[in-house]
């Protein structure tokens, strides 16, 4: 089961600092997906240790590509039939707290990941608030980003 509150609580606690239990990928291209994975893990408590296609973190040199890579995380979440979180791409209007949004700044490649911490009234760019690393933010409006595409990954559960 995916506990959205635990995922969001983790995001709020660590959005503006780093958990020393995890490597900070800031100098290796950005820490956004690593942070989102930490939030997802806080919400489900289960990793998937499949070598090639899993989702796990043991240390910097022993982790899955999906733990810290935007596209790899998308592929894992939307196709996972094993342990760990899973979800589906849905329209932004169906967003919930604890869901993941990935952004494309060039309209071609998705390169940034954020977690939804708050939604006012109904989901829209102006009413969705996020937390993230790389561009460290806590309760930032999604509408303050200049992006060309956004995709919502609605977390439907975990095993």
Contacts of 90 by beta carbon, 8 Å cutoff, 6+ apart: 152, 154
- Domain boundaries defined on the chain: 4-158
* C-alpha gyration radius of the chain: 14
Mean predicted confidence (pLDDT) in 43-54: 96
Q: Say what the pTM is.
A: 0.97
CATH architecture entry for 4-158: Alpha-Beta Complex (3.90)
Q: Which pLDDT score, from 0 to 100, does residue 143 have?
A: 98
Mean predicted confidence (pLDDT) in 99-119: 98
Which tens digits make up the pLDDT trace of 116-126? 999 999 999 99
For residue 100, pLDDT over 90 is answered with yes
For residue 64, pLDDT over 90 is answered with yes
Exposed/middle/buried for 1, CB within 10 Å: 0-12, 13-18, 19+?
exposed
- Going by C-alpha positions, the residue among 148, 67, 140 that lies closest to residue 102 is 148
Mean predicted confidence (pLDDT) in 112-137: 97
For residue 6, pLDDT over 90 is answered with yes
Q: Which pLDDT score, from 0 to 100, does residue 40 have?
A: 98
């Amino acid at each position: 089961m995916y506990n959205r509150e635990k995922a969001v609580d983790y995001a709020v606690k660590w959005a503006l600092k780093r958990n020393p239990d995890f490597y900070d990928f800031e100098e290796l291209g950005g820490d956004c997906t690593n942070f989102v994975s930490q939030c997802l893990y806080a919400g489900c408590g289960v990793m998937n240790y499949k070598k090639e296609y899993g989702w796990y973190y043991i240390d910097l040199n022993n982790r899955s590509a999906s733990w810290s890579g935007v596209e790899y995380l998308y592929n894992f979440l939307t196709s996972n039939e094993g342990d760990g979180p899973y979800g589906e791409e849905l329209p932004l209007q169906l967003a919930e707290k604890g869901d993941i949004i990935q952004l494309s700044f060039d309209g071609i490649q998705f390169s940034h990941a954020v977690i939804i911490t708050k939604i006012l009234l109904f989901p829209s760019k102006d009413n969705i608030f996020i937390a993230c690393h790389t561009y460290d933010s806590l309760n930032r409006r999604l509408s303050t980003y200049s992006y060309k595409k956004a995709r919502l990954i609605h977390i439907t559960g975990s095993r």
